[in-house]
Chains A and B, each alone.
Chain A
């Protein structure tokens, strides 16, 4: 009985499919004095399956478990302390871990540069979308809550749908014109 809701929470909604998402910070190299870290939480709780990741020079933000609410923080290099993120403690100390990470990330000098990073989404199964790339141009004075630019790669279904509709419309117009004569 208790397991069922967990299983259903991980299932893909009927009629939907997951889509590949890539999130990229394009100007990460403009801030060499900072370490950029992505971290997720579920309902405000920091957990092992939303664990932190250091973002490399390519600026690619790792993908997370679907329910993680992901944010990116800029941490001054001299203040970066990897051990804070690694010390999960025992499972009954989840609250303690969350408080410790929360205190660290809200301490002075650490800046939240992106919030609500979407790393998992589902789209209707017949959608023409193939993958999404979100680009972020960060600014240390502002927290972005949506990408600066988004590229959506589509498959051939887009042309198939449009072609079928246009063809049908041409025939319909032809039929209407012929029947009026």
Chain B
């Protein structure tokens, strides 16, 4: 079970890191993107698992994750809200789709 938890978290982190890095590679440092993406995921991923485990609707959980992550991306990377919202949507749609497939 521990392996599944770590694997699930690491995969989500890696996917979201790649998306955020693609958007912000010119304006933020590599290790800054790594650290902030890790922190954002460490906050939202366990909460999402908690609610998902209680059989809350998957799409509603994802919507909340997108909103929370967009706010955190805005605050941590000092971006305008709509840019951080776009990054969050792309990152979470890709990670959710891959999560559903695998």
Contacts and interface: CB of A to CB of B under 8 A. Distances in A.
Contact of A175 (B4, B5, B39, B46): B39
Interface string B27-44: 000000000100110111
Contacts of B26: none
- Interface of B, secondary structure class, is helix
A129 B44 CA distance: 19
18 contacts: A124-B52, A124-B53, A124-B55, A125-B4, A126-B1, A126-B8, A127-B53, A128-B50, A129-B54, A157-B1, A161-B47, A162-B46, A162-B50, A164-B42, A168-B43, A171-B39, A172-B39, A175-B36
Best-buried of B1, B53, B78 by chain A (most CB within 10 Å): B53
A157 B43 CA distance: 15
Given A129-B53, A168-B40, A172-B72, 18 more contacts: A123-B55, A124-B55, A125-B1, A126-B52, A129-B54, A157-B49, A160-B5, A160-B46, A164-B42, A164-B46, A165-B44, A167-B42, A168-B42, A171-B39, A172-B43, A172-B75, A175-B36, A175-B39
A154 to B, nearest CB: 9
A42 interface: no
Contacts of B78: 179
B40 A126 contact: no
A126 B49 contact: yes
B76 interface: yes
Contacts, number: 62
Interface of A: 123-129, 157-158, 160-162, 164-165, 167-169, 171-172, 175-176, 179
A127 B52 contact: yes
Best-buried of B1, B39, B50, B52 by chain A (most CB within 10 Å): B50
B56 to A, nearest CB: 10
Contact of A161 (B46, B75, B76): B46
Nearest to B101: A14
Contacts of B76: 172, 175-176
Contacts of B44: 165
Rank and list the top 3 A-B pairs by shortest CB-CB distance, nearest first. A127-B53, A161-B46, A168-B42
Given A162-B46, A165-B43, A172-B40, A126 B72 contact: no
Contacts of B8: 126
A49 B8 CA distance: 37
A130 to B, nearest CB: 11
Interface string B1-29: 10011001000000000000000000000
Nearest to B55: A123
A160 B36 CA distance: 20
